[in-house]
């Protein structure tokens, strides 16, 4: 039967209204069924170690207590693997009155898993490396170096699809910070770059991909953490920015992500005294969260705190006060509270005393319930474990991830046209790390080995003594080439990055090396500006096995090198620079 055009349009509008109205009805009816204690519990996101245990184990009993005693609305994963996560969360979903929203830090993709690497004595029919979990991706800065928002979209899409398959429907990604400070100790390669417009384009693409894949994307860390010189895990950073500066830099990616439909925004524990003279962290600041995020930027989704165990909050406020002040400022979800008992009871007491109204609590709970319905939790709470085998870590997804990695490699210097390397090259690889590492460099070695005459691998760290560095110099053939890979990256609670004196002296000596030196920044690219100029300088912006493969392929001429700096590296390269290198004919 043929439906007339006007009737079809009316039918389509009615259907659209029904699709939109159903989650709202579910959220409203669920809210009405909850006691005050249950509604307050929905505001808390607590840690979950989703590792298989017996049901009487302390970890599982802790999770049950969070559900039955505190009525928590969400869990943030702090461990597990691709099978443990759905097994544990499926079981916990059956214990909860309201479906649980499982949250995870997916900045590198759905990477929960235990990797496997081929070792001596195993059949050659086995692959050399299996990730063991979902599809891993390179750093956001590496994706920024490709200048291709389609890659950011694919990053989000694959991450969303795989995360949802294991039961994670809320990701704390993407990082929307503009990394404008080369000495930033906590954002760095987690950002797409320093150009607000480019970062905005990447952020919006990621949000569309991730939410199209069926999860909630979270823009972080509002109002912008890219200029800080302090790690908010360890102290409260203070930024002297006014509204004009925020509008022109920090807010650009957040506006784009909000326009793309991001379901959540994460706050940051930093102070903006020119916006809020009280000096409170943004997480606890009404002028920042309500005045700027809600009113000025028009965000209507979930406002979630950064981890409330971080010293940017705990140095000044206890769990009860911080929880109450966060809600008063405009927060909907309190993540990783230091003391759940004090935080939960503090909010309850604030409502009962009239400091916080029930309507204020209801607004936040309604947003959380609407988000749960948005990702289908109003229709089904558990996931089908059998579907993991057809969804998670698919070869096509891993191929896309490797393609993105290959496109990110950025060449900043190629003196004497040393690259691509000749098949007659005698190469000595030196892996440089802060802490001893036994696996880094393995993929680099194996990917280079078939394409050069000889290759050796040495690993050094801050614990390496000066005599070992002398051995490296003696072991490098006079007609050989030295490839030095510096694995330096930002990590929470780490503070200042540094090298011990013997290692620092070795790195500084590279500029005087009698043999050609290829210097590779596997991780923090800004380190290149603090080291001497060598024959070749390049960076893939991360130290994953993906980056090691891409670097090996780049130096041996098997891929085109097209990456461009998404940041300025003082003393080494400006934003947008990068030497193009075509593949070699072999």
Phi, psi of 476, deg, nearest 5: -80, 125
Residue 428's closest CA among 372, 474, 493, 368? 474
Residues 542, 524: Cα–Cα separation, whole Å = 7
Q: Which two tokens stand for residue 228?
A: 């800080």
Residues 341, 339: Cα–Cα separation, whole Å = 6
Which of 84, 276, 306, 524 is flagged as catalytic? 306
CA 104-108-113 angle, 5° bins: 70
The SS3 of residue 72 is coil
Q: What is the 3-state secondary structure (H, E, C) of 88-153?
A: HHHHHHCCCCCCCEEEECCECECCCECCEECCCCCCCCCCCEECCECCECCCHHHHHHHCCHHHHH
Residues 337, 319: Cα–Cα separation, whole Å = 7
What lies within 8 Å, CB to CB, of 188 at 6+ separation is 141, 179, 489, 490, 524, 526
Residue 517's closest CA among 421, 440, 583? 421
Q: Which residue spans within 393-549 are E strands per DSSP?
A: 410-414, 426-433, 454-460, 481-488, 517-523, 536-539
Which of 71, 233, 269, 428 is flagged as catalytic? 233
Q: Is residue 568 within a helix (H) or strand (E), and if so which, with residue range?
A: none
The SS3 of residue 216 is strand
Q: Which two tokens stand for residue 266?
A: 């994460």
Q: Which two tokens stand for residue 535?
A: 């024959």
Distances (CA, A) of 522 to 38, 440, 489, 526, 575: 47, 10, 8, 11, 19
Phi, psi of 360, deg, nearest 5: -65, -40
> Could you confirm whether 233 is annotated as catalytic?
yes
Residue with tokens 């326009």: 259
Residues 427, 476: Cα–Cα separation, whole Å = 8
Contact 244, 298 (CB under 8 A): no
Please give the DSSP secondary-structure letter assigned to residue 163: H
Phi, psi of 200, deg, nearest 5: -60, -45
> Could you confirm whether 71 is annotated as catalytic?
no
- With 0-12 / 13-18 / 19 or more C-beta atoms within 10 angstroms meaning exposed / middle / buried, residue 451 is buried
What lies within 8 Å, CB to CB, of 237 at 6+ separation is 225, 228, 229, 230, 231, 269, 270, 271, 312
Residue 527's closest CA among 515, 513, 514, 542? 542
Provide the annotated active-site residues.
233, 306
């Amino acid at each position: 039967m043929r439906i007339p055009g006007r009737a079809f349009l009316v039918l389509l509008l009615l259907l659209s209204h029904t699709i939109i109205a159903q989650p709202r009805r579910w959220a409203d009816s669920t809210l009405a069924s909850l006691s005050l204690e249950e509604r307050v519990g929905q505001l808390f996101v607590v840690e979950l170690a989703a590792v298989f245990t017996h049901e009487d184990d302390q970890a599982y009993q802790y999770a049950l207590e969070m559900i039955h005693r505190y009525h928590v609305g969400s869990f943030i994963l702090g461990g597990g693997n691709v099978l443990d996560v759905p097994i544990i969360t499926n079981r916990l979903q059956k214990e909860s009155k309201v479906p649980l929203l499982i949250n995870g830090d997916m900045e590198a993709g759905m990477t929960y898993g235990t990797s496997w690497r081929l070792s001596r004595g195993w059949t050659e029919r086995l692959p050399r490396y299996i990730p063991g979990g979902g599809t891993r991706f390179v750093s956001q800065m590496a994706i920024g170096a490709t200048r291709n928002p389609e890659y950011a979209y694919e990053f989000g899409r694959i991450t969303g699809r795989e995360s949802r398959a294991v039961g994670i429907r809320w990701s704390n990604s993407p990082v929307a910070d503009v990394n404008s400070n080369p000495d930033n100790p906590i954002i760095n390669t987690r950002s797409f770059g320093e150009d607000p417009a480019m970062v905005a384009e990447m952020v919006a693409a990621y949000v569309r991909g991730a939410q199209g894949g069926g999860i909630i994307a979270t823009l972080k860390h509002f109002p912008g953490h890219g200029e800080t010189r302090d790690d908010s895990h360890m102290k409260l950073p203070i930024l002297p920015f006014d509204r004009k500066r925020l509008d022109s830099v920090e807010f650009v990616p957040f506006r784009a992500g909000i326009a793309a439909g991001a379901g959540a925004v994460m706050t940051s524990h930093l102070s903006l005294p020119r916006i809020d003279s009280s000096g409170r962290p943004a997480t606890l600041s009404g002028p920042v969260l309500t005045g700027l995020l809600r009113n000025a930027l028009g965000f209507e989704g979930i406002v979630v705190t950064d981890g409330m165990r971080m010293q940017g909050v705990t140095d000044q406020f206890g769990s009860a006060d911080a929880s109450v002040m966060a809600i008063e400022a405009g927060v909907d979800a309190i993540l990783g509270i230091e003391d759940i008992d004090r935080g939960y009871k503090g909010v309850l007491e604030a409502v009962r005393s009239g400091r916080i109204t029930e309507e204020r609590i209801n607004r936040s709970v309604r947003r959380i319930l609407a988000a749960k319905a948005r990702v289908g939790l109003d229709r089904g709470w558990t996931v089908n474990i059998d579907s993991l085998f057809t969804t998670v870590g698919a070869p096509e997804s891993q191929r896309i991830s490797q393609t993105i990695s290959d496109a990110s490699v950025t060449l900043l210097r190629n003196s004497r046209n040393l690259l691509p390397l000749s098949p007659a090259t005698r190469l000595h690889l030196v892996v440089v790390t802060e802490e001893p590492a036994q696996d880094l460099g393995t993929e680099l070695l194996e990917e280079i080995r078939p394409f050069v005459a000889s290759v050796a691998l040495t690993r050094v760290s801050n614990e390496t003594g000066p005599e070992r560095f002398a051995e490296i110099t003696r072991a490098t053939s006079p007609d050989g080439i030295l490839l030095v890979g510096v694995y330096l990256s930002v990590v929470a609670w780490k503070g200042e990055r540094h090298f011990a004196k013997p290692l620092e002296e070795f790195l500084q000596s590279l500029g005087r090396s009698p043999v050609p030196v290829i210097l590779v920044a596997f991780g923090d690219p800004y380190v290149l500006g603090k080291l001497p100029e060598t024959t070749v300088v390049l960076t893939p912006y991360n130290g994953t096995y993906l980056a090691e493969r891409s670097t090996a392929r780049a130096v041996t001429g098997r891929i085109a090198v097209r990456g461009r700096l998404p940041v300025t590296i003082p003393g080494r390269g400006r934003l947008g620079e990068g030497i193009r290198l075509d593949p070699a004919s072999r």
